[in-house]
């Protein structure tokens, strides 16, 4: 393994908004650091560990929900958008976190959940109280069919019908996720105004942007038409949700009009970044629609890699090809891991190749055109933890056991200290087991080790930030042949060629791709051969 220092002027990058080409570090608050010993990570714990994040060289942190919530979906069921849940701390703790992050040169992004709330939110409590109260139309309510069945055949993501009967109103309400997460009526202008007030509240507290959760679920078909069945597929179907084309319960065209209102608000502040999470069968088209102009969001990310069973050159090429550097096409963001998906190393490689593949994966992420999102612990090479059924917390995993991979296995506490009983998390009884298999990858085992994945991740991020071709450049070429992948990145005055072998057998480098001055090599030394799970980046 070798890395050759080559720091180029960054003037080209400096001309771009800070978020273009940014590396963003996702923090899942429950599992990052527990400052008060109650078993649950908190805002003060994040603040205490921000130095670790800053040393990585990332540009921003994204903090998953910490708002007041009954925690049935661990914060994505919001009961008060403008307050901190006591298990995470206080608004003062949040302000201290923002101040510390900014002092370290880190921007702060937070989640916004605009498609649904908790059923304990005051808005819903009022809405369900009658059919004629001021917030009666703030959620999606509908009468039963003549036979008493739900208004449509729509299914929820977490299993079962997407409608729940409410005796108070004598109607059904829509929930695309848990029954305790009623769907907001995004078509209602008053609802949009209230959500924009929420965004304004956090912008005024100093946040630098938003990751908008499940944005394509924000509006439904007002005509309440049934979804058609999905065509046959080779992919396993573990939920009723998988048997339908989601044509009418999500992705309404008017979502773009609401996006324009979000953008108009954020443009009143300096340097705000917005990125939408978009999933589903039509994700690519929706991500493009939500980011296609200066009146829309800055970026979007989907699930190209998050649930992929294997990382292949073809998958990478297809993902990059969908986002060409052409006028009117938005700017993508990429994640290999997050709080909803199994750890990538457990999906993509066998244990004996784990260390080499982890370095390869980290380098590949920073070589993709777009923003790179690193999930906490990914810089350590954490594996998916096998959580026994009796310790599961994830409602989706419990409902669909054992046919879906538990999200809990990627949400286990961050291992800071390998020899501490709680891995340095801050509590002897954390909300999820630490995962003994990950103690060997703890921060204290990797700090100071130049050959650790942590050290390599720091170098790769520095490489990206010092080379405009990687940070903001276009994809001049992309070639995928078997396990061989070539990505050529170009910016004015600079072209870099990135070669990867994503397989377990050596691959010969084609003759026409061997030239160039070596900038970095991992698990490889020769220009004509890429050993298993190796990579080379050269300057042309």
Query: How far from each other are the two terminal CA atoms of the chain, in whole angstroms?
Result: 21
- 242-301 pLDDT per residue, tens: 999 999 999 999 999 999 999 999 999 999 999 999 988 889 999 999 999 999 999 999
> Residue 233: which residues within 8 A CB-CB, separation 6 or more?
none
Indicate which residues carry an active-site annotation. Answer: 213, 277
Quickly state the pLDDT bin for 7 (edges 50, 70, 90).
Answer: very low
- Residue range 302-310: mean pLDDT, rounded: 92
The dihedrals phi and psi of 126, each to the nearest 5 degrees, come to -70, -45
Mean pLDDT of all residues in the chain? 94
- Residue range 19-44: mean pLDDT, rounded: 98
Question: How many Å apart are CA 225 and CA 272, to the nearest integer?
Answer: 37
pLDDT recorded at residue 512: 94
DSSP structural state of residue 247: S
C-alpha 444 chain-centroid distance: 26
What's this model's pTM, rounded to 2 decimal places?
0.95
DSSP structural state of residue 48: H
Which residues is 110 bridged to in the sheet? 63, 210
pLDDT recorded at residue 8: 42
pLDDT recorded at residue 195: 98
CB 532 within 8 A of CB 503: yes
Closest-CA residue to 454 (of 540, 368, 382):
382
Domain residue limits, the chain = 17-115+188-219+254-464, 474-539
Share of the chain above pLDDT 90, in %: 88
Question: How many Å apart are CA 433 and CA 92, to the nearest integer?
Answer: 29
Question: How many Å apart are CA 85 and CA 91, to the nearest integer?
Answer: 9
- Residue range 34-40: mean pLDDT, rounded: 97
Q: Is the pLDDT of residue 464 over 80?
A: yes
- 258-270 pLDDT per residue, tens: 999 999 999 999 9
pLDDT recorded at residue 354: 95
- Residue range 403-419: mean pLDDT, rounded: 89
Q: Which CATH class is domain 474-539?
A: mainly beta
* CATH code given to domain 17-115+188-219+254-464: 3.20.20.80
Q: Please state at what angle helix 354-367 crosses helix 453-466, rounded to 10 degrees.
A: 20
- Residue range 464-493: mean pLDDT, rounded: 97
Q: Is the pLDDT of residue 3 over 50?
A: no
| Structure tokens given for 103 | 């002092």
Question: How many Å apart are CA 182 and CA 528, to the nearest integer?
Answer: 58
Q: Please state at what angle helix 255-266 crosses helix 283-291, rounded to 10 degrees.
A: 40
Q: Is the pLDDT of residue 6 over 60?
A: no
- Residue range 197-207: mean pLDDT, rounded: 98
User: Residues 274, 67, 344, 244: is their CA dihedral positive or negative?
Assistant: negative
């Amino acid at each position: 393994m070798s890395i050759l220092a080559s720091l180029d002027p960054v003037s080209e990058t400096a001309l771009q908004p800070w978020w273009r080409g940014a590396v963003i570090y996702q923090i899942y608050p429950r599992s990052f650091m527990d400052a008060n010993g109650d078993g649950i990570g908190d805002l003060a714990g994040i603040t205490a560990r921000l130095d670790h994040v800053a040393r990585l060289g990332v540009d921003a942190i994204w903090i998953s929900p910490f708002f007041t919530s009954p925690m049935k979906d661990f914060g994505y069921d919001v009961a008060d958008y403008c307050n901190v849940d006591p298990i995470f701390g206080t608004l003062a703790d949040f302000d201290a976190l923002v101040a510390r992050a900014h002092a370290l040169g880190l921007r702060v992004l937070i989640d916004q959940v605009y498609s649904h709330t908790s059923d304990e939110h005051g808005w819903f409590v009022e809405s369900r109280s009658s059919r004629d109260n001021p917030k009666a139309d703030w959620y999606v309510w509908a009468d039963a069919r003549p036979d008493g069945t739900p208004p449509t055949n729509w299914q929820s993501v977490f299993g079962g019908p997407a409608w729940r009967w409410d005796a108070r109103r004598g109607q059904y309400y829509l929930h695309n996720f848990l029954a305790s997460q009623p769907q907001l009526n995004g078509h209602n202008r008053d609802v949009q105004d209230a959500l924009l007030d929420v965004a304004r509240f956090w912008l005024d507290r100093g946040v630098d942007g938003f990751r908008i959760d499940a944005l394509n679920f924000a509006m439904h078909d007002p005509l309440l038409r049934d979804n058609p069945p999905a065509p046959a597929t080779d992919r396993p179907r573990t939920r009723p949700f998988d048997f339908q084309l989601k044509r009418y319960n999500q992705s309404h065209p008017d979502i773009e009009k609401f996006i324009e209102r979000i953008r108009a608000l954020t443009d009143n502040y300096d340097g705000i970044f917005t990125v939408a999470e978009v999933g589903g069968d039509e994700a690519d088209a929706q991500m493009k629609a939500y980011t296609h102009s200066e009146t829309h969001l800055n970026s979007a990310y989907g699930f190209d890699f998050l649930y992929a069973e294997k990382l292949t050159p073809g998958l990478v090429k297809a993902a990059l090809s969908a986002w060409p550097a052409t006028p009117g096409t938005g700017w993508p963001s990429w994640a290999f891991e997050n709080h909803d998906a199994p750890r990538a190393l457990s999906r993509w490689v066998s244990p004996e190749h784990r260390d080499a593949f982890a370095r390869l994966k980290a380098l590949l992420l920073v070589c993709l055109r777009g923003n790179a999102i690193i999930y906490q612990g990914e810089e350590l090479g954490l594996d998916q933890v096998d959580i026994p059924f009796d310790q599961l917390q994830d409602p989706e995993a419990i409902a669909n056991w054992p046919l879906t991979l538990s999200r809990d296995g990627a949400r286990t506490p961050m291992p800071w200290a390998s020899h501490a009983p709680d891995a340095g998390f801050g509590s002897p009884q954390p909300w999820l087991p630490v995962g003994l298999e990950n103690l060997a990858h703890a921060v204290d085992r990797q700090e100071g080790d130049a050959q650790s994945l942590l050290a390599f991740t720091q170098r790769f991020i520095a490489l990206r930030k010092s080379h405009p071709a990687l940070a903001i450049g276009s994809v001049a070429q992309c070639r995928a042949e078997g396990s061989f992948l070539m990505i050529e990145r170009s910016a004015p005055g600079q072209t870099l060629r990135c070669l990867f072998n994503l397989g377990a057998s050596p691959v010969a480098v084609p003759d026409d791709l061997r030239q160039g001055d070596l900038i970095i090599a991992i698990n490889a030394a020769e220009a004509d051969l890429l050993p298993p799970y190796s990579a080379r980046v050269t300057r042309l």
